[in-house]
């Protein structure tokens, strides 16, 4: 996400929820001060999937993760700066509960579903994985298109994506 005043702010953009305009630091502070709940962030994210970015979304898993993050914060347990933050993972990386396709129409072998060190760190901090995002086939390609699914919409310039 480009922060306020970034290069994309001068272009016409898709209207965003005010929570979508906050930085990660602002969201983390709001979660810890109980001004917002992870479950609220998840419900907002689930209701605004208008950009076509996701290959797969697991609403039930995301809600469970958000509830666990909220419960831990309510008990005073802080697992890291991403606790309760909604994230997505590119469909090149393993995430428990999700198949990995690598931009292909068929899933890759099961061994590609295990999280690597970066995804595992994100999971260990109790972030909320809402889904896996589209990618070009096997990450080969310079223009970001894939013949197996439509190109996601650019939120800062919905005409030129």
What's the pLDDT at 65?
Answer: 96
Query: Does 53 map to a domain?
Result: yes
Rounded Cα distance, 70 and 1, in Å:
24
Residue 79 lies in a domain: yes
Q: Using an 8 Å Cβ cutoff, are 92 and 137 in contact?
A: no
Query: How does residue 46 score in pLDDT terms, banded at 50, 70 and 90?
Result: confident
pLDDT of 5: 40
Domain count, the chain: 1
HSE of 50, CA atoms in CB hemisphere, 13 A: 12
Give a yes or no: residue 69 inside a domain.
yes
Parent domain of 49 = 16-139
The pTM of the full predicted model, rounded to 2 decimals, is 0.81
The pLDDT confidence band at residue 62, using thresholds 50, 70 and 90, is very high
List, for residues 99-148, the tens digit of each pLDDT value.
Answer: 999 999 999 999 999 999 999 999 999 999 999 999 998 888 777 788 88
């Amino acid at each position: 996400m480009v922060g306020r005043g970034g290069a994309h702010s001068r272009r016409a953009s898709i209207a965003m929820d005010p929570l979508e305009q906050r930085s990660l630091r602002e969201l983390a502070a709001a979660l810890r001060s109980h001004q917002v709940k992870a479950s609220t962030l998840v419900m907002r994210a689930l209701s605004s999937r208008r950009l076509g970015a996701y290959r797969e979304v697991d609403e039930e898993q995301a809600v469970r993760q958000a509830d666990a993050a909220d419960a831990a914060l309510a008990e005073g347990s802080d697992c890291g700066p991403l606790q309760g933050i909604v994230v997505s993972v590119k469909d090149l990386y393993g995430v428990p509960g999700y198949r990995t396709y690598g931009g292909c129409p068929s899933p890759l072998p099961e061994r590609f579903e295990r999280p690597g060190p970066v995804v595992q760190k994100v999971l260990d901090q109790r972030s909320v994985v809402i889904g896996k995002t589209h990618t070009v086939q096997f990450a080969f390609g310079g223009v970001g298109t894939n013949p197996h699914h439509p190109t996601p919409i650019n939120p800062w310039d919905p005409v030129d994506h």
